[in-house]
Structure 1
Amino acid sequence: MGLQDDLERFREVGEQRREDLAEFIQYGDLGQSGKDDVRIPIKIVDLPEFEYDRRDQGGVGQGDADVGDPVGQPQPQPGDGDEEGEPGEESADHEYYEMDPEEFAEELDERLGLDLDPKGKRVIEEKEGPFTDLTRSGPDSTLDFERMFKEGLKRKLAMDFDEEFLREVLKIDGWGPDRTFEWARGENIPVSKAWIEDAYSEISDGERTTWSSLDELEETIDREPIQQKIRREGIKQVPFRREDERYRHPEIIEEREKNVVVFNIRDVSGSMRQKKRELVERVFTPLDWYLQGKYDNAEFVYIAHDAEAWEVERDEFFGIRSGGGTKISAAYELAADLAEEYPWSEWNRYVFAAGDSENSSNDTEQRVVPLMEQIPANLHAYVETQPSGNAINATHAEEVESHFGDADDVAVAYVASEDDVTDAIYEILSTEEEAEQ
């Protein structure tokens, strides 16, 4: 194995030693990643290399010292260190394993045991597929003759019968056309009364008493199955009907784009201190990456609120802090207005909200819950962040959970520390997965 092989092996080991995905989501530096790329730190493995020792000034035995003199510390040489400045003043580069949101979604599915398969909504193209559809009219060139022949053949099998045997039945002493017709109906023989009467008229008086009974006839002559008769005589005529005609028509295939809009709502009131904001970021950011990786086209809307609500950019969403009170319904009212730009018939929708569950009196029951019911969405989710335990008036999450119960389009998750983050993400995404089934 050569040096290049060693280097490649060390690089593979380095990638394998990147942080576990769950560990990264819970404790890693999410800020190093962007909207379209996820950068997971690699636990560094130093690559081997040759290095020239500048202290080596000659061969064996060269130098000013005598044999037996103690060896002192090597003197610093030019270039060995910084000439000016404090140690560690310059920053070092860190190694990262980079993945796009699609790979992130695949790995998160594997890590959490999910299998979400989003559905496309907006039709972006219609095209003709194989000629598998059938219509009752069309050009002669598209007539499905094979199908028409099969229908006619089935009719022939249903209408045909052993004429010779039926003529022999007419020769049973004392039967005549009426009794023969009744017997034929009982045997499901598709023969008309007129055919029997015509056949009987062709039989001479002496032949009309050939058989004393039906049993005698059946012991003497075997009835011939229709399939055997067709094999023997062939098919001279197939009774086609207009109703048998079908014309092949191309199947119209709709290609649908998987579109999604995600409404991220966050409480920015005075009670949402730094630790709570960080926990919201640790839940919402991976959810954004995940849904962006799952859908063809993903749009994200960020709404901040205290007692009022306003739309913000992604970069400022997690850092905002206000001194106002809290009215969660204001954010849902704004989300309902903005959702009109993304028709439910064309867009998948997710409405994710987070806060410390504090809300103004009766706002959850009287305004938030009705608004959640009025906004069509694949999933509504609320994430409660309470690092130090529930406050006395932090009841929003419990009220939402109590109202919707086990609804398959509403999820409630509780996050008290980083350890709860992946569980919260699983709770949200697994609820969506169950709704898709």
Structure 2
Amino acid sequence: MGLKDDLERYRDVGEERRQDLAEFIQYGDLGQSRGDSVRIPIKIVDLPEFEYDQRDQGGVGQGEGAEEGDPVGQPQPQPGDGDDGEDGEPGEEGGEHEYYEMDPEEFAEELDEQLGLDLEPKGKKVIEEKEGDFTDITRTGPSSTLDFERLFKKGLKRKLAMDFDEDYVREALKVDGWGPATVYEWTREQNMPVSKAWIDDAYEELPADEKAVWDSIEEMEDIVEKVETSQRIRREGVDQIPFRREDERYRYPEIVEEREKNVVVVNIRDVSGSMRQKKRELVERTFTPLDWYLTGKYDNAEFVYIAHDADAWEVERDEFFGIRSGGGTRISSAYELAAEILEEEYPWSEWNRYVFAAGDSENSSNDTEEKVIPLMEQIPANLHAYVETQPSGNAINATHAEEVERNFRDADNVAVAYVSSPEDVVDAIYDILSTEDQ
């Protein structure tokens, strides 16, 4: 096994020992990742390398001007050799083997497996109509699309329904004293699909000396065996199938709508003066994995970031988690802006929608009951979620999450989660996504 094989083997071992996903979400550096690539730290496996033996600086080689037994030279300093650590400590330098990179699709699969989720996104926007399999049927069409199998089955079914044992009926015409009328009545009783005209013709063709072969119909039935249609077909095959034009059907392709699984995620964050650093970090630690997850689940994912204090405004993602204002709090302002953006740019008929909000549950008086809850009811979405971040426990006036939870207790598209420390983040993500999963 060569060094290259060793390198690959150690890399595989390292990837297998990457940080547990839950540990990464709770404590990892989320900022190392991008929207299209999630970088999960792995436990480093040191690779073997050659180095100088510091205990023996002598050597037996000799060069120009060297005497036998003189040392070859001082070993070159290596990173990390210095006592002061200025040349670098082990693991300080980054490298490809220090991270396991997964795309959002793999991240979503890993999170599904770890949390026991099975979210199946729905396609909304029709991006293409194309011909599918020839499964639909019409009465007209080009001869090349004639459904001959269907036509044959129709004809064969009719053949079986019209078939009878002609020889058996002819024997009945040979009963002494029986004419076509009597035989016709007898065939009706026997449920034989034979016409009166056929019986008349057969009687006319019968020689006169054969019209009194049997003394009675009972004698004929005892001696002559009736052959069922299925037996006769197996024995003789089918010479003709009675096709009819009204049986003709033509196949044409089903029109299949190709729907894109697209989603818009509206992330709302309270940036008022009470949202200090620990609260902001908990919001980022909850929202970022949700963004990755939904990116991995949908064909096309777009994100809207709204910050609010007493007023709301749209921001870029890079500034979303860092903003802090000194103003008060009116959560409804963010939902008003979200409703406006969704209505103008992301119609419900074409987009899956997720509206995620987070804050410390502090809100201006009566705003939750009078405005936020009605707005949440009016905004169609796959899922509404509110995440309360209170590192020190519930504040006296932090009632927004409780009011939302109480009002939407029986709703199947509203989730409320409580995060007071990084340990709560994974449970909060599960509470949110499992609501949508159900």
User: d(CA) in 2 for partners of 1:78 and 1:209?
Assistant: 125
User: d(CA) in 2 for partners of 1:266 and 1:14?
Assistant: 37
User: d(CA) in 2 for partners of 1:102 and 1:7?
Assistant: 27
Percent of paired sites with the same residue: 76
Matched to 2:295, the amino acid is Q
Change (3 A) 1:184 1:77: closer
Q: Where does residue 420 of structure 2 map in the other structure?
A: 416
How is 1:390-405 mapped onto 2 (pairs within 5 angstroms)? 390-405=394-409
How is 1:125-144 mapped onto 2 (pairs within 5 angstroms)? 125-144=128-147
User: Contact 1:280 / 1:354 at 8 angstroms: preserved in 2?
Assistant: yes
Change (3 A) 1:176 1:77: closer
Residue deviations 1:57-88, cap 9 Å, x none? Answer: 5359xxxxxxxxxxxxxxx9996899x9x865
Answering whether residue 362 of structure 2 is matched by residue 358 of structure 1, we say: yes
- Once the two structures are TM-superposed, the CA of residue 316 in structure 1 deviates from its matched residue by 1.1
Q: CA RMSD in A?
A: 3.5
User: d(CA) in 1 for partners of 2:23 and 2:6?
Assistant: 29
Matched to 1:24, the amino acid is F
Matched to 1:418, the amino acid is P
Answering whether residue 383 of structure 2 is matched by residue 382 of structure 1, we say: no
2:260 to 257, 260, 280: 257
Matched to 2:432, the amino acid is I
Change (3 A) 1:58 1:153: closer
- Once the two structures are TM-superposed, the CA of residue 138 in structure 1 deviates from its matched residue by 1.0
Residue deviations 1:343-366, cap 9 Å, x none? Answer: 223222211112222333443333
Q: Where does residue 69 of structure 1 map in the other structure?
A: none
User: d(CA) in 2 for partners of 1:232 and 1:7?
Assistant: 74
Answering whether residue 110 of structure 2 is matched by residue 107 of structure 1, we say: yes
Secondary structure of 2:153's match? helix
User: d(CA) in 1 for partners of 2:33 and 2:20?
Assistant: 16
- Once the two structures are TM-superposed, the CA of residue 253 in structure 1 deviates from its matched residue by 3.8
- Once the two structures are TM-superposed, the CA of residue 157 in structure 1 deviates from its matched residue by 0.8
Answering whether residue 301 of structure 2 is matched by residue 298 of structure 1, we say: yes
How is 1:18-97 mapped onto 2 (pairs within 5 angstroms)? 18-52=18-52, 58=58, 88=86, 92-94=92-94, 95-97=98-100
Residue deviations 1:383-432, cap 9 Å, x none? Answer: 22222222333333333333333543222222222111111111222222
Change (3 A) 1:3 1:198: closer
Q: Where does residue 164 of structure 2 map in the other structure?
A: 161
Q: Where does residue 67 of structure 2 map in the other structure?
A: none
User: d(CA) in 2 for partners of 1:153 and 1:363?
Assistant: 75
Change (3 A) 1:237 1:107: same
Matched to 2:32, the amino acid is Q
Matched to 1:103, the amino acid is E
- Once the two structures are TM-superposed, the CA of residue 374 in structure 1 deviates from its matched residue by 2.6
User: d(CA) in 2 for partners of 1:193 and 1:393?
Assistant: 97
- Once the two structures are TM-superposed, the CA of residue 300 in structure 1 deviates from its matched residue by 0.6
- Once the two structures are TM-superposed, the CA of residue 207 in structure 1 deviates from its matched residue by 4.7
Change (3 A) 1:385 1:186: farther
Matched to 1:115, the amino acid is D
Length-normalised TM-score, structure 1: 0.82
Q: Where does residue 321 of structure 2 map in the other structure?
A: 318
Q: Where does residue 243 of structure 1 map in the other structure?
A: 246
2:332 to 329, 332, 335: 329
Q: Where does residue 277 of structure 1 map in the other structure?
A: 280
Matched to 1:93, the amino acid is E
Aligned residues: 416
2:119 to 116, 137, 159: 116
Q: Which moved more, 1:4-13 or 1:98-107?
A: 4-13
User: Contact 2:79 / 2:88 at 8 angstroms: preserved in 1?
Assistant: no
Q: Which moved more, 1:95-104 or 1:128-137?
A: 128-137
User: d(CA) in 2 for partners of 1:251 and 1:179?
Assistant: 55
Change (3 A) 1:43 1:321: same
Q: Where does residue 288 of structure 1 map in the other structure?
A: 291
- Unmatched runs of 5 consecutive residues or more in structure 2: 61-73
User: Contact 1:174 / 1:209 at 8 angstroms: preserved in 2?
Assistant: no
Change (3 A) 1:187 1:10: same
Matched to 2:51, the amino acid is E
- Unmatched runs of 5 consecutive residues or more in structure 1: 61-75
- Once the two structures are TM-superposed, the CA of residue 226 in structure 1 deviates from its matched residue by 1.5
1:345 to 322, 327, 349: 349
Q: Where does residue 66 of structure 2 map in the other structure?
A: none
Matched to 1:14, the amino acid is G
- Once the two structures are TM-superposed, the CA of residue 250 in structure 1 deviates from its matched residue by 2.9
Secondary structure of 2:246's match? helix
How is 1:141-290 mapped onto 2 (pairs within 5 angstroms)? 141-168=144-171, 184-185=187-188, 187-192=190-195, 207=211, 210=214, 212=216, 214=218, 216-231=219-234, 234-290=237-293
Change (3 A) 1:166 1:394: farther
- Once the two structures are TM-superposed, the CA of residue 287 in structure 1 deviates from its matched residue by 0.7
1:368 to 372, 385, 396: 372
Length-normalised TM-score, structure 2: 0.82
User: d(CA) in 1 for partners of 2:382 and 2:221?
Assistant: 71
